[in-house]
């Protein structure tokens, strides 16, 4: 008798724990039509949550939301985050910002406004409604780093008046706002510092290195190496980053920024070679001028993400590039059709 009532009690506790774990929540995702925002939206919908996506379609594409739009729990608002946001949400993922250097430098004032005012509006909404926020910051807060690999405690080496400053400094002030809202108003906000991330649904025309090289290799054009191609980056496949963002949002308490990236560091000649092999292309490598303030090296120290979230990337760059090539091939075929 005693044993069976104990068993019943344990079963009920288990049930309640599972209900809490799987509680359907309402999410706001800013930048939902973009590369990462659309994958995150799909992942949250697949977990049974409701998602409201907002995007001003600066670099977002309607095609990225084709899957999300088939879900009842999804709705979309064309909205610029520099304008105030409203609504009641449990969680807010704040991704809205141009991420490609050529794009964010086209209208640097708009980029800085998006980073500052967009983040301010998200934080004001969270303060008013009690939502938890995870925002995507960037490895660009480290600038051209003098510490290698980059730990979260490294304060960075950013040129505040250069052509990349609208984004780099924009993301730095966005982090400043986030941690001041935490200290002043108790907003539960987390910041992921993403390192270069790639994969299907990147805008093939947005000028980032992986998309450029794949498009050039697929269309038989020369591969454009900026500078001598010896600058390094650490490329992370999007599935790893999405998993990290969700783990960061759901971690009990995180009161400092967290790097999310793949520590596997390679130079631009190596990534060109990996792309050429994946496509089976014999395009030539040509050199173009190195953009001003282009960081020389980039490699995340991910010990904090490992300790706090049990997170580490799983997808190799060869595997990720091959999957990305498959997606871009379809895009090229659709374009010529």
Using rule CB under 6 A, residue 98 touches ligand NAD: yes
The DSSP secondary structure of 140-180, one letter per residue, reads GGGBS-SSSSBPTT---B--TTSTTHHHHHHHHHHHHHHHH
Cα gap 310→95, rounded to integer Å: 23
Per the listing, tokens 């490895």 go with 139
Cα gap 93→245, rounded to integer Å: 9
Using rule CB under 6 A, residue 279 touches ligand UDP: no
Using rule CB under 6 A, residue 209 touches ligand UDP: yes
Using rule CB under 6 A, residue 294 touches ligand UDP: yes
Q: How far is the CB of 138 from ligand NAD (least distance, A)?
A: 4
Stretch that binds ligand NAD, among 78-86, 225-233, 290-298, 321-329 (CB under 6 A): 78-86
Which residue in 27, 89, 167, 237 is the catalytic one?
A: 167
Cα gap 229→86, rounded to integer Å: 45
- Structure tokens, 230: 């010896």
Q: Is the peptide bond before 199 cis (omega within 30 degrees of 0)?
A: no
Cα gap 191→81, rounded to integer Å: 18
State which residue, 121 or 196, has the beta carbon closest to ligand UDP. 196
For 135, the enclosing helix (H) or strand (E) is strand 132-138
With CB under 5 to 8 Å by kind, the binding choice for 105 among ligand NAD, ligand UDP, none is none
Per the listing, tokens 């010990």 go with 303
Q: Active site includes 167?
A: yes
Q: How far is the CB of 19 from ligand NAD (least distance, A)?
A: 32
State which residue, 36 or 272, has the beta carbon closest to ligand NAD. 36
Site for ligand UDP in 97-156 (CB under 6 A): 101
**CA-closest candidate to residue 114, choices 81, 162, 138:** 81
Using rule CB under 6 A, residue 35 touches ligand NAD: yes
State which residue, 96 or 218, has the beta carbon closest to ligand NAD. 96
List residues near ligand NAD by CB under 6 A: 30-31, 33-37, 55-60, 80-82, 95-99, 114, 118, 136, 138, 194, 196-197, 203
Residue numbers of the site for ligand UDP (CB under 6 A)?
101, 196, 208-209, 212, 224-226, 231, 233, 268, 291, 294
Residues carrying an active site annotation: 167
């Amino acid at each position: 008798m005693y044993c069976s009532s104990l068993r019943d009690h344990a079963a009920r506790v288990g049930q309640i724990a599972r209900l809490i774990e799987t509680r359907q929540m309402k999410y706001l995702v800013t930048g939902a039509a973009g590369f990462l925002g659309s994958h995150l939206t799909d992942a949250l919908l697949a977990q049974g949550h409701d998602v409201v996506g907002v995007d001003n379609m600066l670099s977002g594409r309607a095609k990225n939301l084709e899957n999300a739009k088939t879900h009842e729990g999804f709705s979309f608002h064309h909205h610029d985050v520099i304008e105030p946001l409203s609504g009641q949400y449990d969680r807010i993922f704040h991704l809205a910002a141009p991420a490609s250097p050529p794009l964010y430098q086209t209208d640097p004032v708009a980029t800085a406004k998006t980073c500052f005012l967009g983040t301010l509006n998200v934080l004001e909404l969270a303060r008013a409604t009690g939502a938890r926020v995870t925002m995507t910051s960037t490895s660009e807060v480290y600038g051209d780093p003098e510490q290698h690999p980059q730990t979260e405690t490294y304060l960075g080496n950013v040129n505040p008046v250069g052509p990349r400053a609208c984004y780099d400094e924009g993301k730095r002030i966005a982090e400043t706002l986030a941690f001041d809202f935490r200290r002043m108003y108790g907003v539960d906000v987390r910041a992921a510092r993403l390192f270069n991330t790639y994969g299907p649904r990147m805008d093939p025309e947005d000028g980032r290195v992986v998309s450029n090289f794949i498009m050039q290799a697929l269309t038989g054009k020369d591969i454009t190496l900026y500078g001598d191609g010896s600058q390094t980056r650490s490329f992370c496949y999007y599935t790893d980053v999405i998993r990290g963002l969700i783990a960061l949002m759901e971690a009990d308490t995180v009161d400092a920024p967290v790097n999310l990236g793949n520590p596997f560091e390679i130079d631009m000649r190596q990534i060109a070679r990996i792309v050429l092999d994946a496509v089976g292309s014999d395009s030539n490598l040509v050199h173009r001028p190195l953009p001003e303030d282009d960081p020389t090296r980039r490699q995340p120290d991910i010990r904090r993400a490992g300790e706090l979230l049990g997170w580490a990337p799983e997808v190799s760059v060869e595997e990720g590039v091959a999957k990305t090539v498959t997606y871009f091939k379809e895009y090229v075929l659709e374009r010529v059709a």
